[in-house]
Amino acid sequence: MRNVSTIFQRELASYFFSPIAYVVISVFLIASGFFFAGNLQFWQEASLKGSLDSIQFFLLLLTPVITMKLFAEETKSGTIETLMTSPVSDFDVVFGKFLAALSLYIVMVLPTWIFVLFLTIFGNPDFGPIFSSYIGLILMGGLFVSVGLLVSSLTKNQVVAAVIGIVSLIILWVVGFLSKYGEGWFYETLRYIGTYDHWESFTKGIVDTRDVIYYLSFTALLLFITVRNVESRKWR
């Protein structure tokens, strides 16, 4: 466990050594600012309604870009060999990298509070849904990052990792929509697996334990698979 923080520090620092962090954050802020303005004009309402959905869509596209290098780069450059032959457990490496990417995600999302600031200056927003939405955003970030991390550990090509990560997240997002087209356990399962349904209640100001458990357990499962996958070099 002690090495989690060592790995975390290095990974987080390396985001800011490279242009990736700056590019991703700027793209995200420009895009979300644009959609915030658009939604505000459309709804004429002091809330983040609508904006958060478009923000979520951009997170879905950009999180895999954050996570793509985590393992793919190490495998390609061979640093995985020095890393894995030092006295650090596979879990420490995976969890440290996860926390670093999640932190960057949070750093990326936090500046959107400026929108909230705007709303309070020019209107009187209801803070309940706003706070719950941000709790939701962070929980969802954990899930997105763990998907990206798993994908990155499966390939040594960063571009492949990003593309497959984005596709997986989109599938995870839309799979819930399919539940509208039928009844029964199958559609019910799809609804449960899809992220959108769980996310929606956060935007309405509800922090439902079921949704929190959904995000946390799904994240934990993906991290577990990632640890196993990193370990698998030992029995492949």
Partner 1 sequence: MINVKHLTKRYVNIAAVDDISFDVGEGEIVGLLGPNGAGKTTTMRILTCFMPATEGVATVAGYDVFTDSLNVRQQIGYLPENVPLYLDMRVKEYLMFRAKLKYIPRRERKKKIDYCLEMCGISDVQNQITGTLSKGYRQRVGLADALVHDPKILILDEPTIGLDPNQIRQIRQVIKDLGQKHTILLSTHILPEVEMICDRVMIINKGKIVAMDTPENLMKQLKSSANVVLEIRGDGEKIKDSLSNIGGVRSVVWKEKGDASEFVVEAAGDKDIREDIFKCIVKDNYTLREMKRQTVTLEEIFHQITTRETEGDSDNA
Residues lying near partner 1 in the complex (CB under 8 A) are found at 2-3, 6-7, 9-10, 14, 17-18, 77-89, 233-235
Residue 65 CB, nearest approach to partner 1 (Å): 17
Residue 2 CB, nearest approach to partner 1 (Å): 7
Residue 233 CB, nearest approach to partner 1 (Å): 6
Which pair of structure tokens corresponds to residue 204? 């309405």
Residue 215 CB, nearest approach to partner 1 (Å): 31
Task: Please give the DSSP secondary-structure letter assigned to residue 175.
Answer: T
- Name the residue nearer to partner 1 (CB basis): 185 or 235: 235
The vertex-40 CA angle with 38 and 42, nearest 5°, equals 70
- Name the residue nearer to partner 1 (CB basis): 82 or 120: 82
Query: To the nearest 5 percent, what fractions of the chain are helix, strand and coil?
Result: 85, 0, 15
Residue 89 CB, nearest approach to partner 1 (Å): 7
**Helix (H/G/I), strand (E/B), else coil: 150:** helix
C-alpha 22/C-alpha 84 separation (Å) is 29
Q: How far is CA 98 from CA 101, 129, 206, 215, in A?
A: 5, 27, 27, 15
- Name the residue nearer to partner 1 (CB basis): 92 or 211: 92
C-alpha 94/C-alpha 8 separation (Å) is 10
Residue 68 CB, nearest approach to partner 1 (Å): 16
- Name the residue nearer to partner 1 (CB basis): 18 or 26: 18
Residue 66 near residue 105, CB atoms below 8 Å: yes
Residue 229 near residue 235, CB atoms below 8 Å: no
Which pair of structure tokens corresponds to residue 33? 């600012």
Count CB-CB contacts under 10 A for residue 178. Answer: 14
- Name the residue nearer to partner 1 (CB basis): 197 or 231: 231
Residue 173 CB, nearest approach to partner 1 (Å): 33
- Name the residue nearer to partner 1 (CB basis): 89 or 103: 89
Alpha helices in the chain (DSSP H): 2-17, 20-43, 51-67, 69-77, 79-84, 90-109, 113-122, 127-154, 158-174, 185-193, 195-203, 209-231
- Name the residue nearer to partner 1 (CB basis): 77 or 217: 77
